[in-house]
Structure 1
Amino acid sequence: MIRVLATTWPLLMGVMLLMVGNGVQGTILGIRGSGAGFSTFQLSIVMSSYFLGFLFGSVLAPRMIRRVGHVRVFAALGSAISAILIVYPVVPDWMAWSLLRVLAGFAFSGIYITAESWINNTATNETRGQALSAYMITQMLGIIASQVLLNLPDASGFTLFILPSVLVSLAFLPLLLAPTPAPAFDSARRLSFRSLFAISPLGCVGMFLTGGIFSAMFGMASVWGTQAGLSLYQISIFVGAMYVGGLLLQYPVGYLSDRNDRRTLIMGLSFVAALAMVVAMLPGLPFAGLIGVALVLGGITNPIYALLIAYTNDFLTREDMPGASAAMIFLNGFGAIFGPLVTGWIMGLVGPSGFFLFIGVLFLGLGGYAAWRMTRRAAPAVTGAFRGVSPTASPVAVGAVMEEADLSPR
């Protein structure tokens, strides 16, 4: 691991700063938007817009990289992100914010693809698994650290927008000055959705549903917290706890995944998460109880995403893995667009509890579908292919994780 960190630390440092900047703006917009009088549905459009841009970026950014190269794309998109983060407080209008969020999602998608290509290129077959694990952990730590920054004094109202802009700008220094040369970029041959569904129906349906779950969680958590009367400090703790839960449960779930039918875990974890959402809707639940819910919610959502990838991986040939990863990311991103929108609509009907209601229904659907699929075909052979991967990863990282898992000893 020391040898891996010695060669990848500039990239990992840049990624951490990027995630800190992105995490701050993802939470603060929900809080500031509520304070500016935006309706819940308007805020849901703002939050969904990021995932729409991210989806476009995952498709178009590779073409940009092939045309002008990693460095130019990286610098251009990084400059755009820094500018966007400063413009938010200048134009307090929900339609303007929605457009800015589309651009931010597109830019961050391109940044992730570029950075992950670099990280994947610096690793050998022997160190790729460690490098990818370090990358995923760095992403999580960056988001957790971002929630701490939300509690800084902000008398002018601009500090929490300027600071992420500065962090994003600084993130490019270690990345662009790293001695590792930019890798050649070659887009994977896409696997059609029809072919992927024939290979793994649960993988396809699960990725779509987890996209909605993840985007609802992290897009609307601050909106829910504001409506529920939580302070900024409490909201930051709640959001941070979801990522802490994801860090804590990745390894235990992975250990069980490589020794049991993955569908059993997907079903069981989904039903546990749905039950946790019922608990969250109980009237008078203390804040400590909400933190417990956040730990469970984050601790289940992130591993289930990785479980679905590992389960699909069990049915793929090595040649189909890169194309499958792109198709799965697209399904996840498509589902993510609707997560905040539907959550905002439900919250407008039933109040803040609609946040947990929507997530609970999706988890219930995922668990039920996994249970039904267990009656349709036998479990594949245990492959030992589980790898921790975040829902924020691009097709580059997901494809590398799938291929690395396929090469590992069984």
Structure 2
Amino acid sequence: MLQVLSSAWALLLGMSLLMVGNGMQGTLLGIRGEIEGFSTFEMSIVMSAYFVGFLGGSRVATGMIRRVGHVRVFAALASLISAVMILYPTFTEVWAWTLGRVLIGFCFSAVYVTAESWLNNAATNENRGQALSLYMIVQTAGIVLSQALLLTADPSGYVLFVIPSVLVSIAVTPILLSISPTPAFERTKPMSLRQLAGYSPLGCVGMFLLGGVFSAQFGMGSVYGAKAGLSVAQISTFVAMFFVGAVLLQYPIGWISDRVDRRILILVVAAFGVAGSVIGMVFGSQFTLLLVSAFLVGGMSNPLYSLLIAHTNDFLEHEDMAAASGGLVFINGLGAILGPIITGYMMDVVGPGGFYLFTGVLFAILAAYAGYRSTVGRVVPVEETGTYVAVTPSSTSVALEYAQEYAIESDLSDDTATESN
């Protein structure tokens, strides 16, 4: 762990500042949109736009990096992120915010690709798992911290838009001054979606559904809070609880997943997600229970992402795992684009509770399909399953490929140790 910190502290520090900026602007727009009188549907379009840009950026970022290099791409896009954040309060129009969210999603996707390749270059085979864990913790901790910063100023003013802009600008400095050398960049050609679905129908269906769940909580959580009449402090705490649950429950669920039938565990975890959604829908007026619901929804959806990846890998040869990464991220991204739009529609129809109705339905479909697949799919013995590696839904296919490589290395090491014994 210390070796990872010594070699990648600047990158991790910069990424934490970037995540604080990203977390602030997402929640702040939901609050400010209510102040400006934007409708729920209009805000759903704005929030969905981020995932449109993110998915597009993940498809073209590698070509940009090959043409002009990591440093230029990172610096240019981080500067654009900073500029867009400061422009939000200047142009309080739906079309301007939508365009801004597309640009920020695109830029963050390319910035993540760059940072993740740098992180992999700084890690060794022995500490790659620790590096990925630190990266995940930094990402999630940055979003949680960002919610506290929302309490430092009035959301109807400019200051809260200036803070994330400044943080993103500062984040570039330690990374660009400390990271050397620039890593070589190689990408694996993605597996076709048809092939991927043939290997793991549950993995593909689950990733699509989780895209909707994650984008709803990341994009529409603050919109829900504003429509439900929560104060700024309550909204920031509410949004933070999604990610607190993700951090605290990721590893216990991962530990269990290496010891049981993963399809059954997917069913159980998704069922807890349904329970969390029902609590939020029925007891949303009680703030303490609302926090419990957010903790459960976030604590189930994020580990499910890694769990579905591990389940998919159980049906792949080692040489195919990295190739499957692009397809899994793409499927998740499609679900993420639709998530805020459908959530916004449901909130318009049934009120703020439509937020939890949407996540509950998706969790229920996933649980039911996991139960079905457990009766018809090929059974992989527990002792033959691959290693669970924690990955956040906000990571790109680059981090997912490196996680796949780490899982392969871990499995091969375990096989070698077993044979030697």
- The yes-or-no answer on 1:387 pairing with 2:389 is yes
- The whole-number CA distance in structure 2 between the counterparts of 1:345 and 1:315 is 37
- The whole-number CA distance in structure 2 between the counterparts of 1:294 and 1:347 is 17
Mind listing any 5+ residue stretches in structure 2 that lack a counterpart? 415-421
Matched residue type, 1:236:
S
Partner of 1:400: 402
Is the 2:284–2:290 Cα contact (8 Å) retained in structure 1? no
The residue matched to 2:293 in structure 1 has which SS? helix
1:186-236 Cα shifts (integer Å, max 9, x gaps):
121110000000111111111100000000111111111011110000000
Partner of 1:76: 76
Is the 2:267–2:367 Cα contact (8 Å) retained in structure 1? yes
Partner of 1:31: 31
Most deviating of 149-158 and 52-61: 149-158
Mind listing any 5+ residue stretches in structure 1 that lack a counterpart? none
RMSD: 1.1
Shift, 1:381, TM fit: 3.1
Shift, 1:105, TM fit: 0.3
Partner of 2:352: 352
Matched residue type, 1:240:
A
Shift, 1:370, TM fit: 0.6
Is the 1:122–1:180 Cα contact (8 Å) retained in structure 2? no
Matched residue type, 2:103:
L
Shift, 1:323, TM fit: 1.8
- The whole-number CA distance in structure 2 between the counterparts of 1:53 and 1:355 is 23
1:71-113 Cα shifts (integer Å, max 9, x gaps):
1111111111010000100000011100110010000000000
TM-score (norm 2): 0.96
Partner of 2:97: 97
Partner of 1:236: 236
Partner of 1:252: 252
1:236-262 Cα shifts (integer Å, max 9, x gaps):
001111111111101110110000011
Superposition pairs of residues 322-333 of structure 1, within 5 angstroms? 322-333=322-333
The residue matched to 1:402 in structure 2 has which SS? helix
- The whole-number CA distance in structure 2 between the counterparts of 1:155 and 1:356 is 25
Is the 1:117–1:183 Cα contact (8 Å) retained in structure 2? yes
- The yes-or-no answer on 1:16 pairing with 2:16 is yes
- For residues 284 and 338 of structure 1, do their structure 2 counterparts lie closer, same or farther at Cα, with a shift above 3 Å needed? closer
- The whole-number CA distance in structure 1 between the counterparts of 2:131 and 2:284 is 44
Matched residue type, 2:401:
G
Shift, 1:284, TM fit: 6.4
- The whole-number CA distance in structure 2 between the counterparts of 1:306 and 1:31 is 30
Shift, 1:301, TM fit: 0.7
- The whole-number CA distance in structure 2 between the counterparts of 1:334 and 1:381 is 32
- The whole-number CA distance in structure 1 between the counterparts of 2:277 and 2:103 is 32
- For residues 381 and 86 of structure 1, do their structure 2 counterparts lie closer, same or farther at Cα, with a shift above 3 Å needed? same
Superposition pairs of residues 170-319 of structure 1, within 5 angstroms? 170-283=170-283, 285-319=285-319
- The whole-number CA distance in structure 2 between the counterparts of 1:284 and 1:215 is 20
- The whole-number CA distance in structure 2 between the counterparts of 1:215 and 1:341 is 10
Matched residue type, 2:294:
A
Matched pairs, number: 410
- The whole-number CA distance in structure 1 between the counterparts of 2:128 and 2:16 is 19
Partner of 1:364: 364
Superposition pairs of residues 373-384 of structure 1, within 5 angstroms? 373-382=373-382, 383-384=385-386
Is the 1:259–1:384 Cα contact (8 Å) retained in structure 2? no
